Amino acid sequence: MINIPITKILFIDIETVGAAPNFSALETFHPELAYQFKNYLDWFEKRFPEHAGKGPDEMFYNKSALVAEFLKIVCVSVGFITNDGEIKTQSFYGDDEKVILKDVQSLLKRIGNLGFYLCGHNAKGFDIPVLAKRMVMNGLMPPQILPSHDTKPWEIKALDTKELWQFGSFTTIGSLELMCICMGVESSKNMEVVGNKVHEAYWDKQQLEQIKEYCEKDVEVLINVVRKFYELK
């Protein structure tokens, strides 16, 4: 099903939080960004109707980490499989987003030159464009392995497990946790910190190490899911 050697894939996952602890803090430290968030509140409410009508405070706290312009990357974890079948992982994490992105930029330049592909769950819809946008916003040139505005779909050097699970259907339910259950892979959802709690864990509880552990676990889970496709007979 996959015509790329599994040892030529860099598996990747990112963890993001809102650009500030809450909307009041955003108004104080980033007033122009706060103004724009209010301007886009209708868009947020249409995309996340469960928080509609509750004002910018709740929407920002719960959903700002999902939109590149209003978030901050706090962890990027990557992994690969050695020729011996061993999983190796590495994480770039901390409070300084630009430092994280510079390290990731350097890594992606190197692996791009070695003919690697990226792989993530919903990577084409989230991780990859968010990485590219945040690099630009931090004055960094996205490496060639990340698609640009004129990259053709067939030129993107990335696998997306959400797409793999669609099998051509656009109505497929596609969470990584559900794929794990269906394919007999242990998921990361028993961790102390999980995806929808990362903003709280970072800003309210200062649990950066736990966020890193969760991000790395997601990469390991991703690798084990993709391995299942390579084991098909």
Q: Are strands 117-120 and 158-160 parallel, antiparallel or unpaired?
A: parallel
What is the C-alpha to C-alpha distance for residues 228 and 232, in angstroms, rounded to an integer? 7
Cβ-Cβ contacts under 8 Å for 54 (sequence gap 6 or more): none
Burial of 141 (0-12, 13-18, 19+ CB in 10 A): exposed
Which domains are assigned to the chain?
A: 6-230 (3.30.420.10)
Mean pLDDT for all residues in the chain? 93
Each residue's pLDDT tens digit, 213-232: 999 999 999 999 999 999 99
Cβ-Cβ contacts under 8 Å for 212 (sequence gap 6 or more): 75, 77, 91, 93
What is the C-alpha to C-alpha distance for residues 186 and 149, in angstroms, rounded to an integer? 36
Nearest Cα neighbor of 41 from 51, 31, 32 is: 51
Candidate from 55-64, 84-93, 155-164 with smallest mean pLDDT: 155-164
Each residue's pLDDT tens digit, 170-202: 776 778 888 999 999 988 777 777 778 899 999
Tokens of 71: 């978030």
What is the C-alpha to C-alpha distance for residues 84 and 178, in angstroms, rounded to an integer? 29
Evaluate if residue 12 carries a pLDDT over 80: yes
Evaluate if residue 100 carries a pLDDT over 90: yes
**What is the arithmetic mean of pLDDT over 50-58?**
91
Q: Are strands 87-93 and 71-81 parallel, antiparallel or unpaired?
A: antiparallel
Each residue's pLDDT tens digit, 127-165: 999 999 999 999 999 999 998 888 887 788 999 999 989
| pLDDT above 90 coverage of the chain, percent | 79
Q: From the CB of residue 216, how many other CB atoms can be counted at a distance below 10 Å?
A: 21
Which pLDDT does position 168 carry in this prediction?
Answer: 79
Which pLDDT does position 169 carry in this prediction?
Answer: 80
**Against a cut of 0.75, is the pTM above it?**
yes
Tokens of 37: 């968030």
Q: In one letter, which amino acid is 13?
A: D
